[in-house]
Amino acid sequence: MKIVMIDPSGFTPSYDHCLGTAIAQQGNQLVIATMEAGLGRWTEEINYECWEHFYRVTGRLSKGKTRTYLKGCEHLFDMERLWHRLRQWEPDVIHFQWLPLPFVDKFFLRKFRKIAPLVLTVHDTEPFHGAPSSRLQLVGLQSAYKQFDHYIVHTQYSKKMLVERLLLSEELVSVISHGVFAYYRKLVDGIRAEQVSQFREKKVLFLGILKPYKGVDILLQAFARLSKQLMKDTVLQIVGYPRIPIEPLQALAQRLGIEDHVFWDLRFVEETEIAAYFSQADVVVLPYRRIDQSGVLMVALAFGKPIIASRVGGFTEILEDGRHGFLVEPNNIDALAYALERILEDDGLRTRMGSEVEKLACGKLSWSNIAARTIQLYQDVLERWRAKHGNQA
């Protein structure tokens, strides 16, 4: 098959690359249409074609309101160019990962749909995690979503939300799991010496872009309730680029008396360093208030680390409480503190849970399995589309 996968702003480059590589490995011709530098250096050897099609001008500008406005204008022209390009390339399926500007995209989707069937992966049923760069990104979203022939989500929770919100037939929505980012295991690099010197024996890791829904405040309060003996030999690592004011969280750590036990690395962290952080962690904590599915979880699984996560969204469909770690109710400080205490004080329990986590990286969460299911979906959607459009395909 000939497939084009579209992620204009490169929102999920790791996902795009892993899925695209596995699809191409199974004998298909695949193109990923994205922006320049949308894919990382770990994709230097790729088995698909990459079109750095989007934002060739505004992608080089510094972030700001002016850039956001100009980027929206350029998006209009890029979609028009993409339509002409797709007409020439003649794909069998057009698979969107994201719609960055729905009120513009919906008009082009109608034109694209005449070329090939349209598939959309809905990574988050709350668009842009409830924090779009501009309110314009939410305008026309529902009508744009309605232009697709089929939808992919990663969890049963997401399917339920999408069906209810768009009033879709359940047959139009397929659940295909998010894959484990196993390639991170090959990227382990030394953490900077000045950081290593601050690390204590046991390490609790929170990693990812800091946003309100991720519950870092809950984690700080739970961590503060560890026993004095356990606290003495433990460090909480909070790593990632903040999209919220960080001063209130640091002030909270100070009020709780744990500032000497919290290590902050507040920046965009390179992939090799991400791999190193996960490699040296004793337990990974995801205290989210809400989520559909998490790419951070899929990195943690690759390293076989026990996981403490909120009992929300897709976490409950991947992790088994007491086997892979612990699931706790969101916003429950006491439950999170108890789970941390249990895992940190029992070396044997951490080892057993880590071994169970490693097993999840194989089987249904492997990219080869996910690609096979996705290709079968493409074939089914294409067959229905050709039946509807007759011989024009």
Average pLDDT over residues 196-201: 54
Query: What is the DSSP-derived secondary structure letter of residue 1?
Result: -
Give the pLDDT of residue 254.
97
pLDDT at site 44: 58
What are the two backbone dihedrals, phi and then psi, of residue 251, each rounded to the nearest 5 degrees? -65, -35
Is the distance from CB of 112 to CB of 135 less than 8 angstroms? no
Collapsing DSSP states into helix, strand and coil, what is residue 83? helix
Task: Provide the pairing of β-strand 307-310 with 325-328.
Answer: parallel
Angle at 339 between CA 338 and CA 343, to 5 degrees: 120
Instruction: Indicate the CATH number of 2-179+366-392 among 3.40.50.2000, 3.30.420.40, 3.60.15.10, 3.40.50.1370.
Output: 3.40.50.2000
Same fold, 2-179+366-392 and 182-363: yes
pLDDT score for 184: 87
pLDDT band for 191, please (50, 70, 90 cuts): very low
* 150 bridge partner residues: 119
**Residue 43 pLDDT greater than 60, yes or no:** no
pLDDT value of position 149: 97
pLDDT band at 194 (very low <50, low <70, confident <90, very high): very low
Which of the pair, 143 or 308, is modelled with greater confidence? 308
Smallest CA-to-CA distance from 252 within 214, 207, 220 is with 220
| Predicted TM-score (pTM) of this structure | 0.84
Alpha helix segments (H runs only) across the chain: 13-25, 65-89, 102-112, 141-145, 156-166, 193-196, 216-223, 228-232, 247-255, 271-280, 295-302, 315-318, 333-345, 347-360, 367-389
Confidence of residue 71 (pLDDT cuts 50, 70, 90): confident
User: Domain residues of the chain, as ranges?
Assistant: 2-179+366-392, 182-363
Q: Which two tokens stand for residue 309?
A: 């996560």
Characterize 142-153 residue by residue with b for buried, 16 or more Cβ atoms within 10 angstroms of its Cβ, and e for exposed: eebbebbbbbbb
Count CA atoms closer than 13 A to 379's CA, side-chain side: 9
Query: Is residue 286 a contact partner of residue 297, using CB atoms and an 8 Å limit?
Result: yes
pLDDT (0 to 100) of residue 129? 53
pLDDT for 279 equals 92
CATH number of 182-363: 3.40.50.2000
Give the model confidence (pLDDT) of 305-340 as tens digits: 999 999 998 899 999 999 999 999 999 999 999 999
Q: Which helix (H) or strand (E) holds 361?
A: none
Q: What's the maximum distance between 2 C-alpha atoms anywhere in the chain?
A: 73
Q: Is the pLDDT of residue 66 over 80?
A: no
Tokens in use for 277?
């952080």
CA-nearest of 221, 243, 255 to 331 is 221
Query: For a pLDDT cut of 70, what percent of the chain falls above it?
Result: 90
